[in-house]
């Protein structure tokens, strides 16, 4: 028997942060697929970590974000 | 009999058995009309749904799926499905009892909470906690046993 836990934080403007913990293999991403679809599917950022592969998979366009921060 | 290399062993372990976690940030779009209707109801906002006429400045008219009447009988707020999501349409000049920013934020927030509960409860998750933070965030924890 396993326990799957998902934490969802909805901010004051409705943007959503989803944290899925300790699921095996692809079950991790499948668990939130329908939720992401209902939310319109616009993933701003996704970070995936496992026993041996920590790191960012997608994260928008970093060049564009940094350009805006520098005011160029 | 060929021996399995360490690399293959590691690959199988990663695909089939290792535990993964992920963090995702989603910019909410209103894509499900039934959830939009539930959100409006939960917010206590009266509406009609179907092929609606939205009234605006100088008797102007446009069409939308949802019509929200306002305290000014000559001005409505509409919600229409365009480019894959619902958009709010109104002549805000004449709308007195709704703020555009507050309406859009509260609708997005309520929609996101309802979408979370619906999609995860359909997959066997139970809502463990739902808390409202001082900064306006809503935090939901859902769990399932498999």
The complex's ipTM works out to: 0.81
- Specify the pTM: 0.81
More confident residue, B142 or B7: B142
Q: Is the Cβ pair B144, A3 closer than 8 Å? A: yes
pLDDT score for B121? 95
**pLDDT at residue number A22:** 77
pLDDT of B130 strictly over 80 = yes
CB contact under 8 A, A7 and B140: yes
Domain boundaries, chain A: 5-69
Asked if B118's CB is within 8 angstroms of A22's CB, the reply is no
Hey, CA dihedral for A16, A65, A30, B37, is it positive or negative?
positive
Cα B104 from Cα B122, distance rounded (Å)? 27
| Contact between chains at A10 and B116 (C-beta distance less than 8 A) | yes
* CB pair distance less than 8 Å for A38 and B144: no
**What is the C-alpha separation between B67 and B57, in angstroms, rounded?**
16
Mean pLDDT over B56-72 rounds to 91
Helix, strand, or coil (residue A11): coil
Shortest CB distance from B28 goes to which of A3, A15, A19?
A15
Asked whether residue B15 carries a pLDDT value surpassing 90, the answer given is: no
pLDDT of residue B10: 34
- Rounded-to-5 percentages of helix, strand, coil across chain A: 30, 40, 35
Q: How does pLDDT run along chain A (72 residues), one tens digit per residue? A: 888 899 999 999 889 999 998 787 777 788 899 999 999 988 998 887 764 454 444 445 545 545 555 444
Contacts of B135 in chain A (CB under 8 A): 11-12
Residue from the list B14, B31, B139 with its beta carbon closest to the beta carbon of A40: B31
What does the DSSP 8-state code read for residue B131?
Answer: E
The CA-based dihedral angle spanning residues B146, A2, A29, A20, taken in that order and rounded to the nearest 10 degrees = 120
Given CB atoms, is A55 within the 8 Å cutoff of chain B?
A: no
Lowest mean pLDDT among B18-22, B76-80, B99-103, B124-128: B18-22
Mutate to test the interface with B, among A11, A20, A55, A57 (most CBs of B within 10 A): A11
Question: CA of B48 to nearest chain A CA: how many angstroms apart?
Answer: 22
Q: What is the reported pLDDT for B60?
A: 85
Is the pLDDT reported for residue B4 higher than 60? no
- Cβ burial of B69 (10 Å; 0-12, 13-18, 19+) is middle
Q: Is the pLDDT of residue B145 over 70?
A: yes
- 3 state SS for A56-71: EEECCCHHHHHHHHCC
pLDDT at B20: 74
Q: Say which residues have a Cβ less than 8 Å from residue A53's Cβ, sequence separation at least 6.
A: B14
**Separation of alpha carbons A55 and B119, rounded Å:** 27
B18 vs B89: CA distance, rounded Å: 48
Residues of chain A contacting residue B26, judged by C-beta atoms under 8 Å apart: 15-18, 36, 39-44
Contact B27 A28 (CB under 8 A): no
């Amino acid at each position: 028997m396993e326990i799957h836990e998902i934490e969802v934080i909805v901010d004051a403007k409705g943007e959503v942060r989803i944290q899925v913990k300790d699921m095996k293999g692809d079950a991790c991403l499948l668990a939130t697929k329908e939720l992401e679809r209902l939310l319109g599917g616009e993933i701003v950022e996704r970070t995936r970590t496992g026993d041996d592969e920590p790191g960012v998979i997608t994260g928008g366009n970093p060049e564009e974000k940094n350009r805006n921060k520098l005011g160029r | 009999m060929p021996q399995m290399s360490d690399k293959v062993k590691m690959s199988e372990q990663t695909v089939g058995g290792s535990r993964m976690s992920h963090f995702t940030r989603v910019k909410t779009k209103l894509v499900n009309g039934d959830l939009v209707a539930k959100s409006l109801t939960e917010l206590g906002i009266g509406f009609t749904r179907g092929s609606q006429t939205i009234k605006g400045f100088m008797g102007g008219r446009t069409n939308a799926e949802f019509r929200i009447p306002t305290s000014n009988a000559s001005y409505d707020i509409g919600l229409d499905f365009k480019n894959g999501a619902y958009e709010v349409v109104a002549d805000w000049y004449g709308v007195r009892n709704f703020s555009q920013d507050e309406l859009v934020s509260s609708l997005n927030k309520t929609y996101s909470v309802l979408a979370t509960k619906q999609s995860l409860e359909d997959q066997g998750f139970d809502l463990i906690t739902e808390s409202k933070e001082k900064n306006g965030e809503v935090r939901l924890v859902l769990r399932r046993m498999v």
